[in-house]
Structure 1
Amino acid sequence: MAVTMAENKMLNYALRALQLIFAIIVMGTGGYAIHVYRGYSSIIHTPDGDFYGYAGVPNAWGFLIFCAAWTVLVVILLIAGNAFADRALIGYIRIAVEVVAVLSWFAGWIAVAVNIGTEACSEGYSSCGALKAAAVFGAVEWLLFMVTATLAFSLFLNSKRQLRTSTT
């Protein structure tokens, strides 16, 4: 059953479309959270003098936006790679891209989820709701990439078992 699901092009296109839609949602909600976030400043007293420090947007929020932008490129690459699916090198590249996408989305939504409830996203900030939505859609995106990576890996393993005959 897993082989027929992996070979089903409509399922693959539907999952890729969902990945693309959720990446756009993450870009929108994460971008909004970054836009409305107001950092905080503090005066740090040291023996050498006072230091005025400003804490801006946490890096994890920008990394989640990077994951979403990178996903758009990945989905285009993986859909375009279907034309060359019989090449062994394309199979290796497809598996590598899927693994990197799975790991980056996992790291991205975990890093953003850790920021929820800290000074960066406390109850007083209006960006906290958008950030929570971005973290939830990031987790769903990670699950979608887990499904497509599993399907791509099973398809890759099954295609390696079949002997390829030369047409010449």
Structure 2
Amino acid sequence: MATTMAANRPVHFALRALQLIFAIIVIGTDGYAIHVFRGHEVYEQFVYGNFYDYYGVPDAWGFLMFCAGWTFLGVIFLLIAGNRFADHRLIGYIRVAVEAVALLSWTAGFIASAINIGTNACPAQENHCRAITAATVFGALEMLLFVITTTLTFKLVFNGTRGRKTSKTSSDIPI
């Protein structure tokens, strides 16, 4: 299965294309949710004094946007590094690191934004909550795509399917 990523280029490109398409969908839906979100002020009463507190866009929504932007940079690097520098060991390790960071980012991003759905920041009847729900679902799908590609890249780099460097001396010389 590790060689499928190197040997079957159409599947590899299809997975990368889906990652880019899902990132575009997340940028669109998350950006719309951030745009239509209406922050509000709450009057807080404490023992030491009262004040107005402003509740703005939840941080998890911005982090989901960061994950989508990171995906663009990461996928472009992975496509270039996978095609041009496939035999370099250091580039292979960097590819695994980029895949792992993207996988962990998407996992944290979609979980953090899923926690906000149905809370005071995102009541179910609000229009922007449907958009952030869609962004969260596509974030989860993006995470699943990165699970697949990270596993394939990890197997490709660490199982030694790349060509071993051997000596180029011939055995024609009598000893």
Q: What band does the TM-score fall into relative to the shorter chain?
A: over 0.9
Distance 1:76 1:114 in 2: 30
| 1:162 CA displacement | 4.7
> Which residue number in structure 2 is paired with residue 125 of structure 1?
126
Q: Does structure 2 retain, via aligned residues, the 8 Å contact 1:20–1:71? A: yes
- Deviating 4+ runs (over 4 angstroms): none
Matches within 5 A, 1:1-168: 2-7=1-6, 8-81=8-81, 82-159=83-160, 162-165=163-166
Stretches of structure 1 lacking an aligned partner (at least 5 in a row) = none
| Secondary structure in structure 1 of the residue aligned to 2:13 | helix
Distance 2:49 2:164 in 1: 73
| 1:103-149 alpha-carbon deviations (Å, 9 max, x no partner) | 00000000000000100110242100001000000000000000000
| 1:41 CA displacement | 1.1
| 1:51-86 alpha-carbon deviations (Å, 9 max, x no partner) | 011100000000000000010000000001020111
Q: Does structure 2 retain, via aligned residues, the 8 Å contact 1:19–1:144? A: yes
TM-score (norm: length of structure 1)? 0.93
Q: 1:112 to 1:48 in 2, by over 3 A?
A: same
Q: Does structure 1 retain, via aligned residues, the 8 Å contact 2:33–2:128? A: yes
Q: Which has the higher helix share?
A: 1
Stretches of structure 2 lacking an aligned partner (at least 5 in a row) = 170-175
Equivalences, count: 167
| 1:42 CA displacement | 0.8
| AA matched with 1:80 | I
| 1:20 CA displacement | 0.3
Q: Which has the larger radius of gyration?
A: 2
| Secondary structure in structure 2 of the residue aligned to 1:54 | strand
| 1:12 CA displacement | 1.0
Q: Does structure 2 retain, via aligned residues, the 8 Å contact 1:105–1:141? A: yes
| 1:154 CA displacement | 1.1
Q: 1:62 to 1:75 in 2, by over 3 A?
A: same
Q: 1:162 to 1:85 in 2, by over 3 A?
A: closer
Distance 2:162 2:23 in 1: 34
TM-score (norm: length of structure 2)? 0.90
Superposition RMSD on alpha carbons, in Å?
1.6
